Amino acid sequence: MEIWPYNELALLNNEDDGLQWHGLKSLRSLCLMGITKLVSLPDGLQHFMTLQQLIISERPSLIALPEWIGNLTSLQSLFIHNCPNLASLP
């Protein structure tokens, strides 16, 4: 699944309990590209226990990855590109 900037507003709500992501729990690959205003990953992504590949690209506002990213036990590939303000990994 790819999420491009036109979906940006829907992703900005980080105060949910993961319900907006409920139908995607079997997702294996996710590409978040060009979502410039998002400074962190949406909390709902932590429920994607089948996620094997995560691509984060062209996110100049991203400053940190959440600690829970380490709980994605199926994650085999994490690709981070053009995120100049991301200073470290958890």
Domain ranges of the chain: 2-12+19-81
In the prediction, which pLDDT does 9 show? 44
Residue 28 contacts by C-beta under 8 Å, 6 or more apart in sequence?
50, 51, 52, 53, 74
pLDDT tens by residue, 14-71 = 555 555 666 677 889 988 888 777 788 888 888 888 999 999 998 888 888 999 999 9
Judged against a pLDDT cut of 90, whether residue 2 lies above it is answered with no
In the prediction, which pLDDT does 52 show? 94
